[in-house]
A and B are shown apart, each in its own frame.
Chain A
Amino acid sequence: MRNIVFTVEETAMPIFLFFVQREFGIDTVINCSVHSLLCDHLGIESDYLSTRIQTIFLNGETVDDVNLTIVGEGDRLTLSAAMPGVLGAMLRKGGHYAAMRSSISHKESGVTVASNGGRVNLKLFNLIIGELGPNFLDRGIWVKGKDLKALIERNKGIIEKGCKGVFADGKEYECHQALQWNWDEGDEVLLQVKVYEKGDEKEKAE
């Protein structure tokens, strides 16, 4: 299965949010600034980016200027809220203590490339998980099939209880059938998770 849509009770959502703290893929516009990617193309409010997402990494390097830092094909962008302690202060974007981690601060190469479509990998941490995670899951994220299988197996009971329906590659399945699916090494899945709302059943019936 390459495209799976789970509809789940809210109580089952946290299981899938585990994925967003690991790496997941998004098809979007690339070769643009962090600001442009997040705000223009992924729908994140600019104010949220500046006040809430206080720690950003690009391929493990700390980002200080979201307007100058360019995200390219296959890059890994990690978003976090402000972190406690001296380390939190050091890693913060544009923070007063940035000098203390200057050896891992991202430095732009100065080479400009035109924006186009491509794949970016994201990770969301701590408060950002709950605030942005559901939207990304609703929209669809690329994950490794084997990781999805492991997640399903680890949380079988919760999924059995909380799953209201599954669509895969355009066809409807029973939730218990999803528990049997397997993927090969290297297989990717576009995973969507939607929160079940009471009106959904009525809509289905109609």
Chain B
Amino acid sequence: MDKILRINMGAKGGPETKVDPIGEYKGMGGRGITSAILSREVPPLCHPLSEDNKLVIAPGLLSGTTAANSGRISVGFKGPLTGTIKEANAGGQASQVLAKLGYAAVVLEGIPEDDRLYKVFIDKDGVRVTADNSLKMLGNYAVVEKMKGEYGDKICCISIGQAGEMKMPVASVAFTDMELRPTRHAGRGGPGAVMGSKGIKVIVIDDKGTEMRKPKDHEKFVNAAKEFAAGLRKHAVTGQGLPTYGTNVLTNVINEAGAYPTNNFSLGQFDNCAAISGETQVETEKARGGNPTHGCHRGCIMQCSGIYNDKDGNYLTKQPEYETVWAHGGNCGIGDLDAIAQIDRLDDDYGVDTIEMGATIAVAMEAGVAKFGDAQAAINLVHEVGKGTSLGRILGGGAAVTGKVFGIERVPVVKGQSMPAYDPRTIQGIGVTYATSPMGADHTAGYAVTANILKVGGFVDPLKPEGQIELSRALQIATAFIDSTGMCLFIAFAILDQPETFQAYIDLLNAFYGLKMTADDVTEMGKKILSMELDFNKKAGFTAEHDRLPEYFKKEPLPPHNITFSVSDAELDRVFAW
């Protein structure tokens, strides 16, 4: 991956493409390169929908190789939802395909001179940008069908739905999966709106004639890949739990912990959670001829995705993830898997962030726009967004905007972004991450690594509450690193428990690039990425006062444990004090 494709949509006379050598960004991938490009090339005070913002799409350092689970893609931008630097992460095929074509990043720049909509085609012979207004206001599924008709079925697509065209802050960027369906999304923070502001509806990529990327040391790489894959397979989480139940395996457990935000974060448990649990979802899928064990990209061996069919056995949507089942389920008081699956399909088709959409609907329910538990009303509200009605435009602005318009105090956002499916009052450590992550409220900002890394900077007693700050810091550093490599974050448990699997992960990078990285280097790289992001946010006007949870989390005890968020502001300010 030694080149960067730049598509300037605002060039005089029409869109211009340029392929540059990777240059100063050499050695960076995924979130590392997206944050580097944004911090060096995007003015932090720019308007997110202006010509000065950029949308950077980047495979990870190991994408396009034979390493298992290396197909995640990063999308970097200044967020319309948050105003911060953003990295949204997705599965699907695009990361592998772009990497095999040699692109370290595709950078969308500028704003078109006219209001035409464009499609981009990339293959080994070059890049073509063509106006195509026939794509206007199509959903993601219809766009992909059209592209299949034009380019065949060996392509992959990166697209936006109606929400992105309307530049809504909840808009996502969709990536096609192995079945060429637009089911994997870079959702958080509004990347779809930025892509819409650039006038690009779809990027079609065809890697015909390319090969898997070749490591510097083939033998070492193959051995490391074998060890790494074996580690993932043998671990109970990555080898059994996730392939059997998918991410929705978390519903029962988080609910039991009393950390399952219910009815707009007013309760910590949902009475009907067994009806929407991963266990129930799997039995439903199997009974209808669906598939609960499925990879979101080629080379995934954890296979935590799935296929959800309707009552008649016809494809409806991908297996809804835990976050979707929570956002459109428990958080809205809805205990109906079929309704949730229907909404998941709409989210994917209109192209909206499933977490933000669910949180927004819950705030709307609190405002009386609909009743908690009314599944049909929730479906109707998503349609309002997709159609761009007046109400839809409000909801499409996200939970914070919706709360403001309807006069609701209880809006669970940090830096404008909704909290995901874990209440920070019950699990205070996740609250530390929500508050301090440069991304806004983000649950994926902290993932686990082996104790070797965490002992850098001092050992933390796990049973002492004082350890939360250090742990959150270590998790955020580690996640930033993992996000730069193209690896799926769910490798975390295998790496945590099995030092040999963590070592195999480092060996993959060393063998591929001819490096001699150690655990310390992992920490440094993660810190470097976070430092760039924190610096961008500071220049964008964010201060320590933005690293806080909404006040009501400190005042309103959450049943069943009846606790409030009690980590002090002074402690929160220590997270990035390095």
A-side residues, CB < 8 A to B, are 14, 18, 21-22, 52, 54-55, 57, 60-62, 64, 78, 80-91, 94-105, 123, 125-127, 129
Contact = CB atoms under 8 A, between A and B. Distances in A.
Contacts of B258: 60, 104
A98 B492 CA distance: 16
B429 A57 contact: no
Q: Is the interface of A mostly helix, strand, loop or mixed?
A: mixed
Contact of B280 (A18, A57, A87): A18
Given A96-B454, A100-B428, A85 B280 contact: no
Given A90-B430, A96-B451, A100-B428, A82 B257 contact: no
B237 A86 contact: no
Contacts of B561: 60-61, 103-104
A123 B471 CA distance: 30
A179 B286 CA distance: 25
B101 interface: no
A118 B103 CA distance: 65
B427 A87 contact: yes
Given A60-B560, A126-B249, A82 B430 contact: no
B461 interface: yes
A123 B560 CA distance: 17
B127 interface: no
A105 to B, nearest CB: 7
B490 interface: yes
Contact of B490 (A80, A84, A95, A104): A84
A94 B462 contact: yes
A141 to B, nearest CB: 15
Closest 10 CB pairs of A and B: A100-B429, A99-B467, A98-B462, A102-B465, A89-B448, A101-B427, A125-B252, A86-B446, A82-B237, A78-B256
14 contacts: A81-B236, A82-B493, A83-B241, A83-B253, A84-B493, A85-B492, A86-B446, A86-B492, A90-B429, A100-B472, A103-B425, A104-B259, A104-B427, A123-B256
B193 to A, nearest CB: 27
Interface of B: 236-238, 240-242, 244-245, 247, 249-250, 252-254, 256-259, 274, 277-280, 283, 304, 422, 425-430, 432-433, 443, 446-448, 451, 454, 460-468, 471-472, 475, 489-490, 492-493, 496, 560-561, 563, 566
A22 B280 CA distance: 11
B274 A127 contact: no
Given A88-B237, A127-B244, A97 B463 contact: no
A84 B242 contact: yes
Given A18-B279, A85-B490, A101-B429, 9 more contacts: A18-B283, A80-B252, A83-B250, A85-B492, A91-B253, A97-B475, A103-B425, A104-B259, A126-B278
A18 B561 CA distance: 26
Nearest to B565: A103
A153 to B, nearest CB: 15
A104 B252 contact: no
Contacts of B560: 60
A73 to B, nearest CB: 19
Contact of B462 (A52, A85, A96, A104): A96
Nearest to B433: A86
B387 to A, nearest CB: 35
Most buried by B among A22, A100, A101: A100
A100 B250 contact: no
B250 A129 contact: no
Nearest to A97: B471
Nearest to B454: A96
Contacts of B465: 99, 102-103
A103 B496 contact: no
A97 B429 contact: yes
Contacts of B492: 84-86, 89
A100 B471 contact: yes
Nearest to B564: A103
Given A100-B429, A100-B430, A100-B471, A126 B257 contact: no
Max chain A Cβ within 10 angstroms of own Cβ: one of B240, B447, B471, B560: B471
Contacts of B428: 100-103
Contacts of B427: 87, 90-91, 100-101, 103-104
B256 to A, nearest CB: 5
A57 B240 CA distance: 21
A103 to B, nearest CB: 5
Interface centre among B238, B277, B448 (most CB of A within 10 A): B448
A102 B250 contact: no
A54 B496 CA distance: 14
A127 B493 CA distance: 16
A49 to B, nearest CB: 14
Given A99-B463, A126-B244, A55 B468 contact: no
Given A84-B250, A99-B462, A126-B252, A104 B443 contact: no
Contacts of A78: 256
B250 A104 contact: no
Contact of A97 (B236, B252, B278, B462): B462
A60 B257 contact: yes
Given A99-B471, A126-B245, A86 B430 contact: yes
A80 B236 CA distance: 11
Contacts of B448: 86, 89, 96-97
Given A89-B493, A127-B244, A101 B257 contact: yes
Contacts of B493: 82, 84, 88-89
Given A102-B428, A126-B245, A89 B496 contact: yes
